[in-house]
Amino acid sequence: MRKTALYSRSGAGAPPPPLAPAQPPAAVEEAAADPPMPAAPRRRIRLPQQPRALWALIALLSLALALALAAALRPMPRLTQAQIDAAVRHSLEQHPLPSPATRAAEAVRPSVVRVTGYQREREGQQDKETERGVGTGVVIVDTGVILTNLHVVQGADSVKVMFADGLEATASVTGLQTENDLAVLQAHKIPDDLHAATLRGTGGLLPGDQVVAVGFPFGIGPSVSAGVVSGLQRTFRSPVTQQRMSNLIQFDAAANPGNSGGPLVTMEGEVVGIVTAILNPTPARTFIGIGFAVPIENAASAVGMHPF
């Protein structure tokens, strides 16, 4: 049997691949209008590749650092003494300092109280309290313990004290030291921020040392007067009671009736004595330049405090 010859047409190859679906025209136009943005290249700091240039850069940075350090460590110009004195004078003229007496008075003022004694009198069907005397006291313990003169409260039916902040309270006499004309009071009510005075012994006290007396002369106050210590270990006899007191501080800061029981204060604001008497050779009862104070050592012993 004759076989049929197998053959293919000239130029004919494998069948063509299927065509991809045509892209819609709108999509083609959009892609052509907004091509994708290429990513920004990262910047890199490139140091000089040549050794000579690298060393030059290092030298330049070192020089800049050295100049900065030299400027920071440069010594300030020295001032002359005249320039310093002129600067101090200018500062004091613009902002004057308070006087030593002012600083001393301000230091003790929160501890100074007005002490008033009252006497009860019967008027009709009611009792009436009459003021019989005004003096001064100083807080020595912040629980309301107050030192004053005995003659300020002696014979009073009741005693009231007024603190620096204006609070008024009744008080009881809890101790006496008659030989030094001293009385100890305990206030029945006290301010929340009550401050006790700073006490200082008289061991280093000398005639000529500056002092201030703070009190309520004639009920006016608190008033401040300044002076110096005139003498130590003085003796005084009261012309009224004939009581003799010794080891007193003599001073010339003005004191008058009402100053009794108030503090005698150093320029450091420390209480060295309790004002107790003034020398009064005439019936005028005014200050003539000689006052006396009980040393704080004696006064503190009236409340059982250790001597200085």
Whether the model pTM is above 0.75: no
3-state SS, residue 298:
helix
Catalytic residue among 111, 181, 225, 252: 181
Catalytic residue among 10, 95, 151, 306: 151
Buried b or exposed e, range 34-63, using 16+ CB within 10 angstroms = eeeeeeeeeeeeeeeeeeeeeeeeeeeeee
Determine the average pLDDT of the residues in 191-219.
Answer: 95
Q: Is 260 a catalytic residue?
A: yes
Q: Is 151 a catalytic residue?
A: yes
**Is 6's pLDDT higher than 50?**
no
Every domain of the chain and the residues it spans: 107-187, 198-301
CA dihedral sign of residues 79, 84, 86, 91: positive
Distance CA 109, CA 113 (A): 9
Domains 107-187 and 198-301 share a fold: yes
* Superfamily covering domain 198-301: Trypsin-like serine proteases (2.40.10.10)
Distance CA 149, CA 138 (A): 10
DSSP 8-state secondary structure symbol assigned to residue 53: H
pLDDT of residue 222: 93
Q: Looking at the domain 107-187, which fold is it?
A: Thrombin, subunit H (2.40.10)
Distance CA 75, CA 268 (A): 39
Catalytic residue among 223, 225, 230, 260: 260
- In this prediction, residue 111 has a pLDDT band, given cuts at 50, 70 and 90, of very high
At 44-84, the pLDDT tens digits run 555 555 666 667 778 778 888 877 777 777 676 777 888 77
